[in-house]
Structure 1
Amino acid sequence: MSESWTYREGVAPDPDLSLIGYDVEATDGKVGPVDEESNVAGDSYLVVDTGLWIFGKKAVVPAAAVTRVDPEENKIYLSRTKEEIKNAPEFDEETYKDPAYRQKIGDYYGRFSYAP
């Protein structure tokens, strides 16, 4: 796995805090709520339900795209636009945990700077 799957320094959420249900905000607006999360070291990600915005879809977002977690507002902020998330490799319920799919996601998001 690449650095895509690791939270930035100072951004990692409290390990006892569940992010499920938190609203995810791209740089240009709301993406949707967190449906699933992984906080495994070097393999951290969010599965975001984009159903309000892209009907019936989900997206895997690597931890490095997270710029801030706000537990008071129940929000997660990303360094990605809605368009970048929309254009990511298609979410597949059957394969999203497979190394080959995760490599495609990491490669896709790795093309963009992780600067805030």
Structure 2
Amino acid sequence: MTIDEIWSYAPEFNQPEANELSGYSVEATDGTIGHVDRQADESGMRHIVVDTGVWVFGKSVLVPVGVVAGIDTESQKITVACTREEIKSAPVFKTDRETLDPAYLSSVGTYYRSLPPRQPA
């Protein structure tokens, strides 16, 4: 992925930013990770914040939309092209201020770009 792709939806997703994704369940390649708490589409660094519930001790994680592998509006489910462990190992998300912090967003982008590419299922 290039630097822009990690923060952009894949071309096959028809205007996903027009859809309200809050509440959608989020599935990794090896199981559920939580649900979309909120999304950010306006900053040029598009991402979703996923509430992991008890899975990661009630924490939230910031996921760039470039790792979104599928959006099913009928079942309100998003799939991501990474594992639960990869999501859990991402840079720690603590507060909403980080969604505006260029250094934090850069570290998130670098982390997700470093993951091995996944083949479509």
Contact 1:38/1:44 (8 A) holds in 2: yes
> For each residue in 1:40-67, what CA deviation from the matched residue of structure 2 results, as whole angstroms up to 9, or x when unmatched?
3742110000123111201010011001
For these two proteins, the number of residue pairs brought into alignment is: 116
The reply on whether 1:102 has 2:105 as its aligned counterpart is: yes
1:58 aligned to 38, 57, 60, which one? 60
SS at match of 2:11: coil
Matches for 1:74-93 after TM superposition, within 5 Å: 74-93=76-95
Contact 2:9/2:16 (8 A) holds in 1: no
Contact 2:40/2:46 (8 A) holds in 1: yes
Matches for 1:1-116 after TM superposition, within 5 Å: 2-40=4-42, 42-93=44-95, 94-115=97-118, 116=120
Shift of 1:90: 0.3
Contact 1:33/1:49 (8 A) holds in 2: yes
> For each residue in 1:55-107, what CA deviation from the matched residue of structure 2 results, as whole angstroms up to 9, or x when unmatched?
12010100110011001100000001000000000002032321100000000
Structure 2, unpaired ranges of 5+: none
The one-letter code sitting in structure 2 at the alignment partner of 1:107 is T
Q: From the two aligned structures, give the one with the greater helix fraction.
A: 2
Whole-angstrom CA distance in 2 between matches of 1:66 and 1:12: 13
Task: Output the aligned Cα RMSD.
Answer: 1.7
TM-score by length of 2: 0.87
Whole-angstrom CA distance in 2 between matches of 1:30 and 1:42: 27
Whole-angstrom CA distance in 2 between matches of 1:11 and 1:52: 30
Q: From the two aligned structures, give the one with the greater strand fraction.
A: 1
Contact 1:24/1:30 (8 A) holds in 2: yes
Contact 1:68/1:76 (8 A) holds in 2: yes
TM-score by length of 1: 0.90
Structure 1, unpaired ranges of 5+: none
